[in-house]
Structure 1
Amino acid sequence: MSQTKQSKQDITVLIILLFGTFLSFLNQTLMNVALPSVMKDFDITAAQGQWLSNGYMLISGVMIPATAFLIDRFKTRHLYLTSMIVFTLGTFIASISINYPMLIAGRMIQALGAGPISPLMTVVIMNMFPVQSRGKAMGFIGLAMNFAPAIGPTLSGWIVQSYDWRSIFYVILPLGIINILVAVFALKNFGEQTYPKFNFLGIVLSTIGLGTLLLGFSNAGDKPWLTFNVAGFVLIGLVVTGLFIYQQTHTKLPMLNFSVFKHRIFTLSSITNFVVIMGLYGGMILLPLYIQNVRGVSPMTSGMVLLPGAIIMAIMSPITGALYDRIGARYLNFTGLIILSIGTFMFTLIDMNTTVTYLAIMQGVRSFGLGLALMPIQTDALNDLPLELMSHGSAMYNTIRQIAGSLGTALLVTIMSISTSNFAAENVGISIEEATLHGIQIAYIVVTAISVVAAVMCLKLSKKAK
């Protein structure tokens, strides 16, 4: 592969891919607020409805390991257009769904298309930009990856409150079509294809392994850990994933090349990212639970509390990317994660009367810290790899992110639930809201500890951009 000189056409390509990435990540959280309306329309339970979000995350997550093969096998233009067409087709099916199975089918098709988009975007940027200016470009990826899911609940809350839940898909559908039409005329190919052979066993093992692992973590949110739906699926996932790793490291034509972990900074950044994302995704679910379940405030208000933080992160991502090009990852990450730790600790002090303003400000502090830390970690990881391993590094990094998000959510919801139950049992007569508040406070203490651990780990990252 060879890097290309930037031009106006390159910038157009960047905008096209950024927009597609934004749409794919936006859809991760769009249905969360709409769930009660969907449950009412289709007469389904909350557990069934939760699959509108969990299923999307599961399918897109399972697709990610295969993207290294897809990127090396198919041209950028063809792969992106196919992914966006599949994503938009799923959006159309969901928009006209007349029953719950049809809606779920639409969401799963959306996820199939969304899976390859982010890793593809990363690989294109690594080919398009020289090492010394990748940070700024990766900062714009951070804008799409981190701002989109954060703004999702606010956007869907406004749409559902003002219109029908199907209007969510009516908004996404024309945006997807426009993105496809522009890509048809403006998108060009980046990198060189190596045309690897199809590794059938690798696809099967990765799909079963990662799929059951993510399914187990997803089930942990509302089921006991010591059941087949959680422990059973997690155990199967770990065993099959272990077989997948063994098969990939002993074949001449790996679907996912684990030699990326021979590169020290990539490995260290991936581990640090795993810890950070655990805290990020787990922390993201705690605040809406407090606002809606403890305080009884509307989902729309919950979304508005999250909005300032999302805007701060959107502003910080490209700024942080430019700073990375000058000073590297170490001090940016350490500063960001210390700020994140402080902001998270302040959430351990919330009570039944905490103001919405306090919540929004502290969430803004957390988002500022995350904005400093997230993309420099990823940029440092991928800068450590040669271009021929970039597709594998991108797929691996995004797979780790997916697992960390699911595990973090499952772990913190479990800690919250156990703490809530124990506190209620020890304090007879206490309200469920007060018990839940205690559980959320304990969970935030854990998130604070996770953030501090990540801050210490990042001190081994690069002092300067490579």
Structure 2
Amino acid sequence: LIYFIVIIIRVYIMDVKLDRGMSTLLIFIIAAAILSAAQSVVTTGIAGIMADFHVSSTTAQWIYSSFLLVLGVMIPLSAYITRRFKVKTILLSSLSLFLVGSLLAYVSPNIIVLIIARVIQAIGSGILLPITQIVLFKVIPEEKWQVYMGLFGFIIGIAPALAPTAGGMIIDYVGWRSIFLIFAGMVFVLILVALVVVKLEFETGDYPLDVLSLILCVLACVGIMLGFSNIAGNGFDLVYVILPIVVGTFSLIFFVRRQFGIKTPLVDLHALKNKYFFFGTLFSALLYFTMCGLNVIMPLFVQTVTSHNATTSGLILLPATLVMIVFNFIGPLLANKIGVRKVLIMSCIFSIVGYLIMMTYNTNSTVEYMIITQIIRAIGAGLGLMPAVTWTIAVVSGDVEDATAINNTVRQIIGAIGSAVAVVLMTVFAGGTLAHNRVSVSAFGQTSLVMAILAVISLVIVILYIKDEIHDLM
């Protein structure tokens, strides 16, 4: 309800008529907020699920990991789905899949069924989330993309950020199964509303699905993401890490070559030949790499090196997360006022300063100091992501379906790699084992320096390739 009110207020402030296009976009954004919350809400229920099904944490975590993997696989399909099916069909299908997954999760008798239910949920989310961006780009005039992407980023960011806290409270009172029943109820109501409200349609056709491209895409996404995700728990194991990465890499190479060689590709990659789109995508991917890496190494440092508990670790990152979400909204507004180039330069500077300050952490660093310095880093991340994504899509605005699919897929894969590589770097710098000692403190500092160097590279990309006047680049 709060999300809906916020969106309505923004609509009327900007004097945008609430026509069938805006009504459809509102439903898509509300649905995206609900479905994105489902991604992280189960993390607080893992302990209860382990106890109920008598499984280990390694097994139970697949209710979260499987969701992320399926999201990565579904995103590249968004361009094909948008061209092939009606908007209303896409929305109702994704919500229905999510509803079925939620109900199945609620009644699941064992962990296998629960994981399958989460996969079904993720298929629905993987369809809807990227297509919401496509609908936004098609409904909203290009000169207002930054503003609405800011609103979209704020909503999509705050939902999964607050979901674990809200989910934890619900789980403590009525158990983890109730979470899925609540989601089922919300989505059911949304389906009924969508049946009446959604009337917007885009031009579609009998666009063929290249099955071989789909298979290669699945192998590439799953192989690369699974391999890098397994590094933290399995080192450089041949079966769990090396083999998936090799299979994923070769599949990606064949996938890319095939897309350039067939008449109706799964994803048209010609946008990558535009150097501004390429470097814009690279910028957002590097930013996402450092964000995902930080989300893993910071809790490791707080709990393992400074010997604080998990609750303290969460409290240190929570203010930074909320600040980043707010700046997800502020960043595009600033870009609309002063130009995207200045905003991205500020993003890089805040990021560089934040990561360099992290090099000053030690075993005696206070919680307050870590909170304040993490906020500086979070401002950089929040300022940069949505303006960069919006500018990158705008460079090739005539092909938003493929451009959105490329940009989102690259970020999803790079994010998975970033999470794993950050842990590996920190562990290697520490000599193989993290502990409450100076070596581990130094390892954290060295890893932070790597993040700062990536932010410097991002700054160079902005200076050389990000321009305020988009139409001069097309």
- The TM-score, its normalising length taken from structure 1, stands at 0.91
| Cα shift at 1:48 | 1.4
Matches of residues 389-428 of structure 1 in structure 2 within 5 Å? 389-422=399-432
The alignment yields a C-alpha RMSD, in angstroms, of: 2.3
- Aligned partner of 1:37 in structure 2 is 48
- The answer to whether 1:455 aligns with 2:455 is no
Contact 1:119 1:394 in 2 (8 A): yes
State the one-letter code of the partner of 1:230. Answer: V
> In terms of mean alpha carbon deviation, does 129-138 or 341-350 score higher?
341-350
> Residues 288 and 423 of structure 1: is their aligned pair in 2 closer, same or farther, counting only changes over 3 Å?
closer
| Cα shift at 1:436 | 4.9
> Residues 63 and 154 of structure 1: is their aligned pair in 2 closer, same or farther, counting only changes over 3 Å?
same
| Cα shift at 1:6 | 4.5
- The answer to whether 1:201 aligns with 2:209 is no
Gaps of 5+ in 2: 1-14
Supply the distance in 2 between the matched residues of 1:415 and 1:207 (Cα, whole angstroms). Answer: 28
- Aligned partner of 2:8 in structure 1 is none
State the one-letter code of the partner of 1:447. Answer: M
Contact 1:158 1:300 in 2 (8 A): no
| Cα shift at 1:407 | 0.6
Equivalent in 12, 30, 34 of residue 23 of structure 1:
34
State the one-letter code of the partner of 2:455. Answer: S
Supply the distance in 2 between the matched residues of 1:157 and 1:440 (Cα, whole angstroms). Answer: 30
Supply the distance in 2 between the matched residues of 1:386 and 1:433 (Cα, whole angstroms). Answer: 52
| Cα shift at 1:321 | 1.7
| Cα shift at 1:396 | 0.8
Count of aligned pairs: 455
- Aligned partner of 1:229 in structure 2 is 240
- The TM-score, its normalising length taken from structure 2, stands at 0.89
Supply the distance in 1 between the matched residues of 2:67 and 2:454 (Cα, whole angstroms). Answer: 26
Contact 2:225 2:413 in 1 (8 A): yes
- Aligned partner of 1:49 in structure 2 is 60
Matches of residues 50-449 of structure 1 in structure 2 within 5 Å? 50-295=61-306, 297-387=308-398, 389-422=399-432, 431=435, 436-449=440-453
Provide Cα deviations, 1:320-359, integer angstroms capped at 9, x if missing partner.
Answer: 2222223332111110121022122222222233333223
Supply the distance in 2 between the matched residues of 1:83 and 1:369 (Cα, whole angstroms). Answer: 33
State the one-letter code of the partner of 2:253. Answer: G
Supply the distance in 1 between the matched residues of 2:432 and 2:315 (Cα, whole angstroms). Answer: 32
Supply the distance in 2 between the matched residues of 1:62 and 1:367 (Cα, whole angstroms). Answer: 28
Name the SS of the counterpart of 1:144 in structure 2.
helix
Contact 1:216 1:229 in 2 (8 A): yes
Contact 1:340 1:366 in 2 (8 A): yes
> Residues 115 and 207 of structure 1: is their aligned pair in 2 closer, same or farther, counting only changes over 3 Å?
same
> In terms of mean alpha carbon deviation, does 263-272 or 404-413 score higher?
263-272
| Cα shift at 1:149 | 3.3
- Identical positions, percent: 26
Supply the distance in 1 between the matched residues of 2:322 and 2:456 (Cα, whole angstroms). Answer: 24
State the one-letter code of the partner of 2:61. Answer: Q
State the one-letter code of the partner of 2:287. Answer: V
| Cα shift at 1:87 | 1.5
Supply the distance in 2 between the matched residues of 1:217 and 1:237 (Cα, whole angstroms). Answer: 11
| Cα shift at 1:296 | 5.1
Provide Cα deviations, 1:61-102, integer angstroms capped at 9, x if missing partner.
Answer: 111111110010001111011112112221222222221111
Gaps of 5+ in 1: 425-430
Provide Cα deviations, 1:7-40, integer angstroms capped at 9, x if missing partner.
Answer: 2134433332222222333233223333233223
- Aligned partner of 2:5 in structure 1 is none
Name the SS of the counterpart of 1:370 in structure 2.
helix
Contact 1:347 1:444 in 2 (8 A): yes
Supply the distance in 1 between the matched residues of 2:410 and 2:347 (Cα, whole angstroms). Answer: 21
| Cα shift at 1:422 | 4.3
| Cα shift at 1:464 | 4.0
State the one-letter code of the partner of 2:400. Answer: M
> Residues 350 and 33 of structure 1: is their aligned pair in 2 closer, same or farther, counting only changes over 3 Å?
farther
| Cα shift at 1:397 | 0.7
Supply the distance in 2 between the matched residues of 1:261 and 1:157 (Cα, whole angstroms). Answer: 42
> In terms of mean alpha carbon deviation, does 54-63 or 200-209 score higher?
200-209
Contact 1:147 1:314 in 2 (8 A): yes
Supply the distance in 2 between the matched residues of 1:160 and 1:299 (Cα, whole angstroms). Answer: 18
| Cα shift at 1:434 | 6.3
> Residues 350 and 155 of structure 1: is their aligned pair in 2 closer, same or farther, counting only changes over 3 Å?
farther
State the one-letter code of the partner of 1:371. Answer: G
Contact 1:328 1:465 in 2 (8 A): no
Supply the distance in 2 between the matched residues of 1:170 and 1:362 (Cα, whole angstroms). Answer: 39
Name the SS of the counterpart of 1:463 in structure 2.
coil
- Aligned partner of 1:8 in structure 2 is 18
Provide Cα deviations, 1:423-466, integer angstroms capped at 9, x if missing partner.
Answer: 77xxxxxx557665554333222222222221221222122455
> In terms of mean alpha carbon deviation, does 346-355 or 57-66 score higher?
346-355
Name the SS of the counterpart of 2:362 in structure 1.
coil
Supply the distance in 2 between the matched residues of 1:61 and 1:269 (Cα, whole angstroms). Answer: 20
> Residues 239 and 140 of structure 1: is their aligned pair in 2 closer, same or farther, counting only changes over 3 Å?
same
> Residues 222 and 292 of structure 1: is their aligned pair in 2 closer, same or farther, counting only changes over 3 Å?
same
Supply the distance in 2 between the matched residues of 1:235 and 1:325 (Cα, whole angstroms). Answer: 42
Supply the distance in 2 between the matched residues of 1:353 and 1:43 (Cα, whole angstroms). Answer: 38
Contact 2:355 2:452 in 1 (8 A): yes
- Aligned partner of 2:9 in structure 1 is none
Supply the distance in 2 between the matched residues of 1:161 and 1:354 (Cα, whole angstroms). Answer: 32
Q: Identify the structure with bigger relative contact order (alpha carbons < 8 Å, sequence gap 6+).
A: 1
Supply the distance in 1 between the matched residues of 2:205 and 2:82 (Cα, whole angstroms). Answer: 9
> Residues 310 and 172 of structure 1: is their aligned pair in 2 closer, same or farther, counting only changes over 3 Å?
farther
